[in-house]
């Protein structure tokens, strides 16, 4: 594969680099609360106004119709500049792109891309995380509307979301994976009760969502009844991967910041080991995403290989923040290094969010390596 930019890509990169130089937000992201959500909303809208959102999305839904490699360049430059990452809205929008009607795409995708409307993902439930097909939230047809009843949990951004892409059971008699459908739920509907959960780092990113006879018009079903599992697997494929060079350039920058911080310090053998381990993981991740980038640039949906990226990304993120916490030592415990502390604590969630590392290993074993399925 040729890694150098083609002339059009180089021109795009130069324009983006200069936009980033002019538009980097002066203040760091607040650590938690509505201020944090407002910060991300402002960054999302700024990127959209600059023309940097939906680069590889169809023009008719507000995208720019460019090749997927431009998304990699965007992430690469954002990582290099130390700017906040581009909002991770794409995976929900991709579900609408693949399964939504023309009307659903036209109505919902432009404001999702612009950041004018916020979406959340209502998949997990108490008792249905790794075993997602065990979900019990039901939707019963009543004339031209679905009546939704049940509970979701760990729903990121639900406290400020306008819409939820929600998995519901529409056929209790069908086999577990077949009786599931996907609905677009208006988060301001009567009967939706959102209760934020405070995380160990003090943030309230995710919530419990209780649904008490919530009415959803029939034209807000995405795909056909029973197609929810297929939609869910496509969505998590985008959520878990694909990593690209930009994904790793953020880690490269974090690592170099750590190395600058450590330079000249009298490190213990343990601190040196943590730093070296983080460097090895960053290098392995970078080599992996460079190798696999070519298979992704044609824009085809990500397959189970995304689980390899998620595992390597998780390992790198946790190693880096672990090393950072070790280097800052007691200051992290005392609360004198709040960003390092918060990022370290949040990095622990990387091996859970979007599917746990154990589940990713099973996917890699069974669906990438073709090993025999474990008895279930």
Ligand X SMILES: Cc1cc2nc3c(=O)[nH]c(=O)nc-3n(C[C@H](O)[C@H](O)[C@H](O)COP(=O)(O)OP(=O)(O)OC[C@H]3O[C@@H](n4cnc5c(N)ncnc54)[C@H](O)[C@@H]3O)c2cc1C
Sites of contact with ligand X (CB under 6 A): 120-124, 129-130, 154-156, 206, 349, 352-356, 358-359, 362
| Closest distance to ligand X from the beta carbon of 334 (Å) | 25
Task: Find the catalytic residue in 77, 239, 305, 343.
Answer: 239
Element (H, E) at 248: helix 245-262
Task: State the Cα–Cα distance between residues 250 and 194, nearest whole angstrom.
Answer: 33
Report yes or no: 166 and 122 within 8 Å, Cβ to Cβ: yes
Nearer to ligand X, 198 or 358 (CB): 358
Task: State the Cα–Cα distance between residues 365 and 359, nearest whole angstrom.
Answer: 10
Q: Which residue in 345, 355, 349, 250 sits closest to 310, CA to CA?
A: 355
| Closest distance to ligand X from the beta carbon of 346 (Å) | 7
Q: Which residue in 139, 158, 159 sits closest to 148, CA to CA?
A: 139
Give the CA radius of gyration of the chain: 21
- The 10 Å CB-count burial string (b at 16+, else e) for 116-145 is ebbbbbbbbbeebbeebbebebbbeeeeeb
| Closest distance to ligand X from the beta carbon of 193 (Å) | 17
Nearer to ligand X, 66 or 118 (CB): 118
| Closest distance to ligand X from the beta carbon of 136 (Å) | 13
Going by the DSSP 8-state scheme, the letter that residue 295 receives in this structure is T
60 is catalytic: no
Nearer to ligand X, 189 or 356 (CB): 356
Q: Which residue is at the shortest CB distance from ligand X?
A: 129
Task: State the Cα–Cα distance between residues 167 and 181, nearest whole angstrom.
Answer: 6
Task: State the Cα–Cα distance between residues 292 and 314, nearest whole angstrom.
Answer: 17
Nearer to ligand X, 159 or 337 (CB): 159
Report yes or no: 304 and 367 within 8 Å, Cβ to Cβ: yes
| Closest distance to ligand X from the beta carbon of 85 (Å) | 15
Q: Which residues are catalytic?
A: 239
């Amino acid at each position: 594969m040729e890694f150098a930019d083609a002339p059009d890509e180089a021109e795009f990169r130069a324009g983006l680099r200069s936009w980033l130089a002019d538009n980097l937000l002066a203040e760091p992201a607040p650590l938690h609360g509505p201020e944090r959500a407002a910060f991300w909303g402002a960054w999302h809208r700024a990127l959209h106004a600059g023309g940097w959102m939906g680069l590889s999305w169809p023009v008719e839904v507000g995208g720019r119709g460019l090749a997927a490699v431009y998304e990699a360049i965007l992430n690469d430059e954002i990582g290099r500049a130390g700017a906040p990452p581009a909002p991770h809205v794409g995976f929900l929008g991709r579900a609408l792109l693949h399964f939504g009607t023309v009307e659903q795409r036209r109505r919902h995708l432009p404001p999702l891309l612009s950041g004018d409307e916020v979406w959340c993902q209502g998949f997990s439930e108490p008792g249905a995380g790794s075993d997602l097909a065990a979900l019990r939230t039901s939707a019963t047809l009543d004339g031209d509307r679905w009546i939704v009843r049940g509970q979701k949990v760990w729903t990121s951004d639900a406290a400020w979301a306008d819409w939820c892409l929600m998995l519901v059971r529409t056929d209790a008699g069908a086999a577990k994976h077949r009786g599931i459908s996907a609905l677009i739920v208006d988060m301001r509907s009567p009967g939706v009760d959102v209760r934020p959960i405070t995380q160990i780092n003090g943030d309230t990113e995710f919530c419990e969502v209780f649904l008490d006879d919530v009415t959803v018009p029939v034209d807000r079903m995405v795909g056909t009844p029973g197609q929810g599992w297929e939609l869910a697997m496509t969505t998590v494929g985008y959520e878990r991967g694909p990593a690209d060079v930009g994904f790793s350039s953020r880690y490269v920058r974090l690592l170099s910041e750590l190395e600058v911080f450590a330079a000249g310090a009298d490190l213990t053998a343990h601190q040196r080991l943590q730093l070296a381990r983080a460097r090895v993981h960053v290098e392995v991740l970078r080599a992996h995403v460079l190798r696999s980038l070519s298979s992704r640039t044609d824009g085809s949906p990500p397959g189970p290989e995304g689980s390899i990226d998620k595992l390597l990304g998780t390992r790198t993120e946790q190693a880096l923040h672990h090393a950072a916490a070790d280097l800052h030592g007691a200051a992290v415990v005392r609360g004198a290094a709040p960003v390092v502390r918060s990022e370290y604590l949040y990095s622990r969630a990387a091996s859970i969010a979007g599917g746990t590392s154990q589940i990713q290993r099973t996917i890699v074993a069974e669906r990438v390596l073709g090993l025999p399925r474990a008895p279930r």
